[in-house]
A and B are shown apart, each in its own frame.
Chain A
């Protein structure tokens, strides 16, 4: 509306610090807040992972830095020259009630079995719910949707702000679980019943309760977010921005929002029942009281499989943007890409049983789930081939975002292929609940989603912070991450086929795993490299925000609308709403001299002015 456009921003008063940075209603600020939340939790979740890896490589050995001497741990005699031995002796000599958090969880620096269980449970919970979701959906969803569809903000800015702060509350409750008596939840991120539903099995009391409560609250936050995203995308696109002119990143976020909207309430129902079992004396999941433990698995995976696509779809969208920009070519088969995502989202609802082949489910049902799971590989393959088609004959620029996107595609292929192995019931009988699953998970979630996160951050950094990230540091970070990632997770396939169970405390307790221990040590070393490499990325971000090279308005010569907004982008984004004339991927178009053709650029009338590329 030109009437609103002429109302200039300076007619309004200066906003205070609180309204600008804390309770901001601006989708871009909220996006950055989600980014900070996600990266903070990434540090925590990564730390937990490194503790897990220490225990697996050097079982029951004291941790470096804070651990007591080996002599103290093995013989019980403190080494008088070691100051940590003195500290541990002092701490451990106190009465149990007076001891501190460390002596309860890592006495003498050795991780206890109970704490180990909390570690892997919380590593996965935090990474999935508080890192990948807040960054991919919360940060990129918020930052990109209004900019890329050409509108001024989300449909409901207040709801948006609440959605962030509710997520923070959920995060605080989740972290609080570490400090309650009995320790944090310890039944795995899948919290299978009856292990999770009766405190006597894990010895965890409030930890598991807080886990449930936190996820219920996070569900409310996601509900608000997804309602906002869907409404905004359906109702508020700029003039000319038809559905099939939307960038694939927006399509992916749109589909993810629908999945979130419909999947999370089912988890909420299941969590409520779990909480009742633990706190109100019901027996939903306890066979002793007539309950049905398998019900939890059905409800959880009915949510859980759509959830894993929630984790990967935005990554696919981001990778598509980056691949097109740096191949200087239109996305190959744009519509097929959209329909493939729709198909993945749809099929995602009928495959949950592939997590339960070993649960004693009816084998006929298992076969059905096997077939549907294999079907879902078809749209995944369509996407992969289209990415390759996009690269084919392209004028490729190997920038860091591009490297991350290429890593995304290749790692996703490996993860997808291991997925098909496991989808086959007879194979899965052998590898279920082994490290093979852990390898699969990480190839799709780290190799997929997290590489997409890195690529996306580097790619949109200029629009978020007005500066470029340091390319040299970024390249070092990428290659170290890529190598260490494969060093960490590829050998897990071998461990898994060798029969190494997941979630075990000490592999050396099993005769047949002793031979595999060198692999465990190799994995852990790679994992430490991988972990510490991420500090480089954080440093680069912080450094570049302050000192990076000032970015041009459209540093990558991209077509989509966010590059038409000028940094610092005001609340309201565009002085006048842009008009869209064509699809988002018109690179190397014959109609213009440059090799990019922004969606907003109006060409003089031409025979094929709609710019339609097959």
Chain B
């Protein structure tokens, strides 16, 4: 019976710990941990590994952060008599619509990359990551260009609440895309240095999960902020 084996194991362990605590030598808490923190012991079969669970939780928190800002946007947008306020420029719907497509395509390329991870087609993975990052950079550049235009038309953080919430909300998303691109580049570099293999490539999946977050957030923001 496994349970009996455990019992014996516990008894032995307790003996050991007792000897360690009151016996010779330094107390064991000075020692390096005799374990790998990922070690969950026998009989554990967790459906989602620690790092992936942590990433999902982080994504949950991030979504709540955006929920706070989106809530603020909704209050301003639907509490306003005219939106955009008088004298403030309209947002570039068409260009940003195209940009939305670009980001969505990057989501697809990331998904393709993800599919190749398990059969470890290294070249395809590298290409997929490169393409995804490139699309992300294009998205950011287009956004930046449009922002520069908007600023010239007089839409700033200070010009109105409309401008303030636009730059805060869309800017936070842009920062997220920026961070995600950097993360992809780091992962790519590690891939180039052969730090991953068919068994060990969690970092790529984590970066991918983060990428899916920034892609999935965008259509919501586009629909809410740009379209009526």
Contacts and interface: CB of A to CB of B under 8 A. Distances in A.
Contacts of B67: 265-266
Interface stretch (A83-91, A148-156, A316-324): A148-156
Contacts of B64: 261-263, 265-266
Given A152-B35, A226-B57, A20 B42 contact: no
A107 to B, nearest CB: 38
B57 A231 contact: yes
A262 B60 CA distance: 7
Interface stretch (B68-76, B93-101, B128-136, B218-226): B68-76
A551 interface: no
B144 interface: no
B28 A295 contact: no
A575 B17 contact: yes
Interface string A116-149: 0000000000000000000000000000000000
Interface stretch (A164-172, A234-242, A401-409, A446-454): A234-242
B68 A266 contact: yes
Given A15-B31, A290-B85, A602-B7, 13 more contacts: A11-B34, A12-B31, A20-B30, A26-B29, A154-B37, A223-B58, A226-B61, A261-B60, A262-B61, A280-B158, A292-B75, A571-B33, A574-B13
Contacts of A237: 44
A10 B28 contact: yes
A151 to B, nearest CB: 7
B14 to A, nearest CB: 7
Interface string B92-112: 000000000000000000000
B42 to A, nearest CB: 6
B10 A579 contact: yes
Interface of B: 3-4, 6-7, 9-10, 12-14, 16-18, 20-21, 25-44, 46, 48-50, 53-54, 57-58, 60-62, 64-69, 71-72, 75-76, 79-80, 85, 157-158, 160-162, 164-165, 168
A373 interface: no
A358 B160 CA distance: 28
B71 A298 contact: yes
Interface string A23-39: 00110110000000000
The dominant DSSP class at the B interface is helix
With most chain B CB atoms within 10 A of its CB, the pick from A7, A20, A152, A153 is: A152
B64 to A, nearest CB: 4
Contacts of A238: 41
Given A152-B35, A223-B58, A568-B21, A579 B72 contact: no
A273 interface: yes
A5 interface: yes
Contact of A570 (B6, B17, B46, B54): B17
Contacts of A231: 50, 53-54, 57
B33 A152 contact: yes
B184 to A, nearest CB: 22
B209 to A, nearest CB: 14
13 contacts: A9-B34, A13-B32, A14-B31, A261-B60, A261-B64, A267-B68, A280-B158, A282-B158, A282-B161, A282-B168, A292-B75, A299-B68, A575-B14
User: Top 5 A-B pairs ranked by shortest CB distance?
Assistant: A575-B13, A269-B68, A570-B28, A12-B32, A576-B13
Contact of A282 (B12, B53, B61, B157): B157
Contact of A281 (B30, B37, B158): B158
A273 B72 contact: yes
Interface in A65-88: none
Contact of B40 (A236, A263, A272): A236
A155 B35 contact: no
Contact of A235 (B7, B18, B40): B40
A63 interface: no
A152 B39 contact: yes
B12 A576 contact: yes
A134 to B, nearest CB: 19
Contacts of B6: 239, 576, 579, 602
Interface string A203-229: 000000000000000000001001110
Contacts of A579: 3, 6-7, 10
A41 B190 CA distance: 43
Contact of A284 (B35, B50, B165): B165
A15 B31 CA distance: 6
Given A10-B25, A289-B160, A153 B58 contact: no
A270 interface: yes
Contact of A576 (B10, B38, B57, B161): B10
B29 A1 contact: no
Interface in A542-578: 564-572, 574-578
B34 to A, nearest CB: 5
Contacts of A575: 12-14, 16-17
A145 B225 CA distance: 43
Contact of B65 (A4, A12, A265): A265
A58 interface: no
A261 to B, nearest CB: 5
Given A234-B53, A238-B41, A269 B46 contact: no
A230 interface: yes
A568 B28 contact: yes
Nearest to B75: A295
B210 to A, nearest CB: 14
Contacts of B35: 4, 7, 152-153, 572
Given A576-B9, A579-B10, A571 B29 contact: yes
Interface string A594-614: 000000101000000000000
A571 B34 CA distance: 8
B97 to A, nearest CB: 26
Contact of B16 (A8, A264, A272): A8
B168 A272 contact: yes
Contacts of B37: 152-157
Contacts of B25: 10
B12 to A, nearest CB: 7
Nearest to A15: B30
A200 interface: no
A566 B19 CA distance: 10
A227 B18 CA distance: 33
A290 B81 CA distance: 11
Nearest to B32: A12
A235 B50 CA distance: 7
Given A261-B57, A261-B60, A575-B16, A235 B44 contact: yes
Contact of A26 (B33, B46, B162): B33
Contact of A578 (B10, B30, B54): B10
